[in-house]
Structure 1
Amino acid sequence: MNNYHQIMCKTLVLGCCLFAIGLNGQTQKKEYKETFSVGDNTVLDINTSHTDIEFDTWNRKEVVVEASIELEGATKEEAAAYFKENGIKILGNSERIEISTRGDRSWAFKKGMVADLENIVIDIPEIPDLEPLFLDLQIPEIPEIVDMPPMPPLPPMKFENFDYEKYKEDGEKYIQKWAEEFTKNFDEKYEKKWEEWGERFAERMEARTAQMEERKAEREVMLKEREEIIKEKAEIRKQAQEERRQAMEERRQQMQEAREAQKNVIITGDAPRIFYRSSEGENKSFKVKKTIKIKMPKSAKLNMNVRHGEVKLAENTKNMQATLSYSRLLATTIDGDETNILASYSPVNVQRWNYGKLKTQFSEDVALRDVQHLTLVATSSDVTIERLLKSGMLKNNLGALRINAVNQDFNELDISIQNGELVCVLPQGPFQIYVEGISNDLSTPSGLVLERSQKGNQVINKGYHGDSGTNRSIKINARYSDIALKQ
């Protein structure tokens, strides 16, 4: 009997514990649903945090928004208070629909927006060193005007006009007579003055010649000193470039470590847990999951500001404006030349990118499968393009860019990379190629015809593949980067 009573007591205690756990672990849920009749140019303005959003399109001129909040670890009273202060706001009409999460905006701003502002990278172009230009500048010497001693004054002369008629009659005799009359005025006294003047002039010319020889020797010394200065400056620039490259390598390593640390922050931040202060001032910790599902016409436009959430786009999304922070973007097709997406600390996965601009900051995994026309600005991000079909204007700073295939019918590929890594598998068809930059490690396939030239620190590799007359071109501008071109 004692054993029976012990078993019954343990069973009752265990049951009470499970009952208490069940009460504390129950989930409170609030659901929303709004329907809007819309036109062709309806705009959906979405501003959310810690919310997963999923889009779908249909042929109806109607937008249906279904949302829910699941709250775990709260009583009914606590859940009611939370839903009142932190619910989902859905307002709109036929032209514009606004969807937003409330309550934790100030917290979301501190954790998301300020972090984005702190990590904005301003690219200030490097001012070239102008001093070597002046060192190499050749200034020709301007000869000085010789300081001549004053010439002795001419004696008073009785000048007889030349008689041309007598010259025709007498010829040389007249010339001789005319010259004798002219030289009568130049007596010995005047000739002595001319001799003295000539001696003084010769002395000055000798002194001037010695001075010129001295200056020439000084100039040769200055030229040698300038050559030494130029060599010293070149060595200093080379050393400075090496130090800067090492510094950039250290910075790249630090950024990589920061990205690894940030991944842990994102994973932790993705956990749907909100710290909530009740109206009585009591702190509570709830597990919260917010979900929004939107059905909309294909013509509807999206303006999004999403922090800490996953976004799944519809089959075809056109002209979307989006700012994503600590989020995840999944899309089938992104289209429209007005598309503009900024993703910070946010993985991006797009199956087909037709048009638009993508800007990424500190995004570890950006994967684009098929790209028609793309403008990319990436900072400290790893970007992979599986196939570039037509054109790309791609810029990457402190990150890695990989293009696994370029269609042979492509038009143009323009890449700018700084302190990063580039791997590009070149097309099989004809194209022109131009690679310029400073302090890069470049590897190229044997099928490329390249001519290498160098001007100062700038190295240029220019050439072609297949046909030099083709209009298809690849241009790469790189600084302090590793570039691997493959075929």
Structure 2
Amino acid sequence: MKIIELKYLVLALLCAGTTIAQTSKFDKTFKTNKDVTVHIDARHTQVLVEYWDKNEVQVSAFLEGGQKDNSNEALMKWKLDVDANASEVRINSTGAPGHPGDFNMAGLQAPLAKLPEMIAPLTEMIGPMLENLSGQPLPPEFFASMSEVKFDYQEYQKDGEKYLQKFEKKMEKNFGKDFEKAMEEWAANFEKDSAKWKKQELKMEAWSKDFEKDMEAWGEKFGKDMEKWGEEFGKEMEAWAANIERQAESQPGNGKKRVIIIKDGSSAKKVLKVKMPGSGQLKLDVRYGEVKLAGNTNNLRGNISHSKFSAAGINGKNTNLKVAYTPVAVKTWNYGVLNAAYVQDLRIDKALSIKLDSNSSDVHIGELSENGILAGSFGELKIDKLASNFKSLDITLENSDLELDLPESSYNITYNGTNSEVNYPKGLKLSTSSNYDNQKLKGYNGSQNSGGTINIHAKFSDVLLK
């Protein structure tokens, strides 16, 4: 009887071992230098990075969740390459099976179809309004760039991620430096012509108030529509990315293509776990996944898009991180550069020194301790606390909202706003000057020429200092 029970126990252990083996893709440790560089290029993969005091890099890749019956097939479709030597470890992980055109992407068609309809009024309404206001024809770059905002759904079905990358580059090109330069030149001519209107100032002031109300009402509606569209598209995109893992392709002998969609609950998450020396450097390129960094990451170089990003600590003056369409949560940011585009939720609990450039993003910094160079357009910036012994804070805004909680300590402050509104505490000792649509403030809190400095430049923005 005991022998039979022992056989069953051994059999059970063997089966368990087989099950575990079916969910593991890779597990190996490499001897490296303490300053090793780890490159991670991942798609549709959850990336976990930890640090230890060993001169080794441990790479583990495995499936998490999903139905065990499909583990072998999922592992076969998971393309994973690891190359390592003492000074460098390269990891490449791609998770999407099959050809992009074979995936069922009907869920994305509705939100993508709405995009051109929502952008069209921007050209039809804003263009004539700006031309009537300024008396200056808008530059050709304005209409050319707006007309190019077209998402080719059929091409997206055909090429998938490749087309997304092409579309993003196209948008960056259309609304890049050339577009900005052309609009700046138009604005400069607008300002020159504004001197001619001095005799009609009262008339223009009344007209501009009506225009401002109309623009504010339209802008508010458009902003809400875009925000709603962004949330819906984000949810659809996230669901689509998850469902990719549930789709498998087969090719019958007659040459006809057939797509098999596995039911919900069968998909397993691809997880890449890396342990590396604390003094090493991490380089990331991640799309449609998730990144979690434990401990302190030194001199991070990364490009993250359509993912989720969280980190315990970011250190190193050589840090340079770019995020797009990616929620960000960082406990401590000590040094480095952060570029954010289309990030609805970017939260840094505490920043020591940071250079931030954000576009169409909402940024929330819990506390800024020493230095900040912050630039934002078409978004929101909120700083809950500026440390009493801070050194410098430079903020540049365009079409954005700023909320800044000022310290009680001494500091110097300047503000230069164009077509902007600013509110500030009555206790500040300020000198003010205004010229047409420009307002300047200069002064201090507490003692003059002591403490830190705050410089704010704003265009078409709302600034709240409290």
TM over 0.5: yes
Q: CA deviation at 1:41?
A: 3.1
Q: 1:110 to 1:288 in 2, by over 3 A?
A: farther
In structure 2, C-alpha distance between the alignment counterparts of 1:437 and 1:470, rounded to whole Å: 24
In structure 2, C-alpha distance between the alignment counterparts of 1:308 and 1:284, rounded to whole Å: 22
Q: CA deviation at 1:39?
A: 1.2
Residue of 249, 256, 262 corresponding to 1:277: 249
In structure 2, C-alpha distance between the alignment counterparts of 1:135 and 1:357, rounded to whole Å: 38
Is the contact made by 1:431 and 1:471 (CA closer than 8 Å) also made in structure 2? yes
1:96 and 2:148 are equivalent in the alignment: no
Q: 1:468 to 1:255 in 2, by over 3 A?
A: farther
In structure 2, the residue matched to 1:43 is 37
Q: 1:248 to 1:391 in 2, by over 3 A?
A: farther
Q: 1:273 to 1:128 in 2, by over 3 A?
A: closer
Q: CA deviation at 1:456?
A: 2.2
1:253 and 2:248 are equivalent in the alignment: no
In structure 1, C-alpha distance between the alignment counterparts of 2:164 and 2:33, rounded to whole Å: 34
Is the contact made by 2:416 and 2:458 (CA closer than 8 Å) also made in structure 1? yes
Q: 1:136 to 1:442 in 2, by over 3 A?
A: closer
In structure 2, C-alpha distance between the alignment counterparts of 1:389 and 1:397, rounded to whole Å: 23
The Cα offsets for residues 279-305 of structure 1, whole Å up to 9 and x where unpaired, read as: 544423351310011110012211111
5+ long unaligned stretches in structure 1: 1-25, 138-225
In structure 1, the residue matched to 2:75 is 83
In structure 1, the residue matched to 2:144 is none
Is the contact made by 1:112 and 1:325 (CA closer than 8 Å) also made in structure 2? no
Structure 1-normalised TM-score?
0.68
Is the contact made by 2:47 and 2:291 (CA closer than 8 Å) also made in structure 1? yes
Structure 2-normalised TM-score?
0.71
In structure 2, the residue matched to 1:61 is 55
Q: In percent, how many aligned pairs have the same letter? A: 26
Is the contact made by 1:437 and 1:477 (CA closer than 8 Å) also made in structure 2? yes
Is the contact made by 2:25 and 2:75 (CA closer than 8 Å) also made in structure 1? no
Larger radius of gyration: 1
Q: CA deviation at 1:237?
A: 6.7
Q: CA deviation at 1:314?
A: 2.5
In structure 2, the residue matched to 1:301 is 281
Q: 1:248 to 1:450 in 2, by over 3 A?
A: farther
In structure 1, C-alpha distance between the alignment counterparts of 2:307 and 2:325, rounded to whole Å: 7
Aligned pairs for 1:365-404 within 5 A:
365-404=345-384
Q: 1:347 to 1:289 in 2, by over 3 A?
A: same
Aligned pairs for 1:309-320 within 5 A:
309-320=289-300
SS at 2:432 equivalent: strand
The Cα offsets for residues 259-317 of structure 1, whole Å up to 9 and x where unpaired, read as: 32234235424636422223544423351310011110012211111112221112010
Is the contact made by 2:35 and 2:277 (CA closer than 8 Å) also made in structure 1? no
In structure 2, the residue matched to 1:336 is 316
Is the contact made by 1:248 and 1:419 (CA closer than 8 Å) also made in structure 2? no
The Cα offsets for residues 141-172 of structure 1, whole Å up to 9 and x where unpaired, read as: xxxxxxxxxxxxxxxxxxxxxxxxxxxxxxxx
The Cα offsets for residues 27-60 of structure 1, whole Å up to 9 and x where unpaired, read as: 9524311221111332211111221111111111
Is the contact made by 2:40 and 2:90 (CA closer than 8 Å) also made in structure 1? yes
Q: What is the letter of the counterpart of residue 87 of structure 1?
A: K
In structure 1, C-alpha distance between the alignment counterparts of 2:73 and 2:234, rounded to whole Å: 33
Aligned pairs for 1:376-455 within 5 A:
376-455=356-435
Q: 1:462 to 1:247 in 2, by over 3 A?
A: farther
In structure 2, C-alpha distance between the alignment counterparts of 1:481 and 1:306, rounded to whole Å: 33
SS at 2:389 equivalent: coil
Q: How many residues align?
A: 371
Q: What is the letter of the counterpart of residue 57 of structure 1?
A: Y
SS at 1:314 equivalent: strand
Is the contact made by 1:50 and 1:272 (CA closer than 8 Å) also made in structure 2? no
SS at 2:35 equivalent: coil
In structure 2, the residue matched to 1:188 is none
In structure 1, C-alpha distance between the alignment counterparts of 2:428 and 2:187, rounded to whole Å: 31
